[in-house]
Structure 1
């Protein structure tokens, strides 16, 4: 069990005492921008606000790791391997936490196990890496195992405090959180010290705040406030899928896809004609004759640049 080791996640960010040699590899078996993407980075702001290491928007308040996300739960069900980012000794493991969307009920049940199914590895240089939210029953290592970089540890899941399929990688040194993109952890924008990555993942400041369903094309104000979001609809309602983007550039592409009880109901794309700091795009379908079949509908909005995935967000609505 991870026990007190998982409590390290509540430590505050701090800088290492000296520049370190880059030693980390990608912690999952995927291709960034094609079959996976980085959803969130370490929160570099010690206040109630948040920003990533570039002072960009890709973090959440108090976020203490890097989230490497799969495109959807279908990819998770197919199985994507979580890999050791560097050689080391497996110090702790935990399995047996269900893969399920995080709700208030789940929160009460898994208190103290928010990292979900997890592996912690100690490395010869004094760093530790912690891999969270692995798929239940998928772990392939045990405490005491010696692993090489690239060794499969398990599969990407959605266990613990998670609402999407991803692996959360936390890097620690002397009990403190280290941002592998900026180990210096200064308050300036951009990395001040060499990153810990052997092959530094690229960074794009553009992304998606959210994706959601509505029953009509919303206004920007309603998208920004959240008033446009609908969790349920009647069978005779139109269904509109929208994505709310930040720093999208001219020429970026927004893709829409949605499925329901009867199969696919939507697949379309739109090219951004003028980049803005904030914008949204929407695509919809009118209710068919006789109305939509009752049940759950799932959509995805993807933001791409030159064919590369920058961000992807899911959305759900129930017709009843």
Structure 2
């Protein structure tokens, strides 16, 4: 790349596209890209796709399967980390194909939208991020990265799989995830169909993902985000903050002991069972039928410290989500976690 071209790229910012570059990439001239996973975590066991591109033009929303995992005018694919511990350790974001970095932002604060509201992220909705240009008019955007984690600069050439940042909580988001967005000649493309969104139920033979991801990236509409024990009632929207994890952490002889669970993609009439077992095998259980579809659902169960103190040993929390399939209850998701009290 010439010095003049490199200077032109370096002058770009998150806004209007400036400059086009002829580059080599991970896909052949004239063909569509084959993107690798943009997150360095196992999908669907460590990370999941919680939201897809809105496939329905106009009002209302649907994902590419005609399911409800999207929201109105959502333009990307959201990769969410399925453990707050793993998120806080740091999950790298990867370039999904060879290309040249067009723009970046690296100084947006974490959690501004949760803590301060919409005005705090106005015109900075994607937070910290990177935009990469590939060949033949294709671009990818990586949004909501951790402040200070972006490792590339405008004009840098990257290869598929290069680390470009860390999943964060910057910009307009209520939960930690990577928002991955694809455009072709500045028009939005759904990577699961390869096409401009025009309605759900589209065939996926032209999907832009590498074929090796077909099984891992198969559609999963519901699951468990995380579970845990707590010594205080958790503030759901703050669970991704280290300060909240410290506040609710179970220390010696807590006043209360709770077991909590967070789920995504729950459906109306699903049956949710959450239980809490003490070291003597005594079980407290709560079961309910859910009344509506929800992208995120939070539930907890627990007890106050007994008059005689806690029974030493292992406490076990268990969460099970069931759904009626052909007239029979089927377990959709299940998880348990233990906590030892001295």
Calculate the TM-score normalised by the size of structure 1. 0.65
Higher relative contact order (CA 8 A, sep 6+): 1
Which residue of structure 1 aligns with residue 167 of structure 2? Answer: 156
Deviation for aligned residue 1:44? 0.5
Residue segments in structure 1 that go unaligned for 5+ positions in a row: 7-18, 212-234, 258-267, 291-298, 313-320
Question: Which of 30, 53, 68 is residue 64 of structure 2 equivalent to?
Answer: 53
CA separation of 1:153 and 1:58: change in aligned 2, threshold 3 A: same
One of 194, 213, 224 as aligned partner of 2:206? 194
Identify which of 245, 254, 260 aligns with 2:266. Answer: 245
SS in 2 for 1:69: strand
Task: Name the residue aligned to 2:82.
Answer: 71
Give the counterpart of 1:287 among 300, 304, 309. 304
Q: Which residue of 2 aligns with 1:15?
A: none
Q: How does 1:157-236 map to 2 (within 5 A)?
A: 157-184=168-195, 185-191=197-203, 193-198=205-210, 199-200=213-214, 201-207=217-223
Q: Distance in 2 between matches of 1:4 and 1:133?
A: 16
Separation in structure 2 between the aligned mates of residue 57 and residue 288 of structure 1, nearest angstrom: 41
Larger Rg: 2
Match of 1:318 in 2: none
Structure 2 length-normalised TM: 0.61
Structure 2: 5+ residue stretches without partners: 1-11, 18-29, 228-253, 277-282, 308-316, 324-330, 336-342
Name the counterpart of 1:129. Answer: 140
Are 2:126 and 1:115 equivalent residues in the alignment?
yes
Which deviates more, 132-141 or 190-199?
A: 190-199
Seen in structure 2, the aligned counterparts of structure 1 residues 205 and 34 have a Cα distance that, compared at 3 Å, is closer
RMSD: 4.4
- Paired position in structure 2 for 1:80: 91
Secondary structure of 1:191's match?
Answer: coil
In 2, Cα distance between equivalents of 1:156 and 1:45:
28
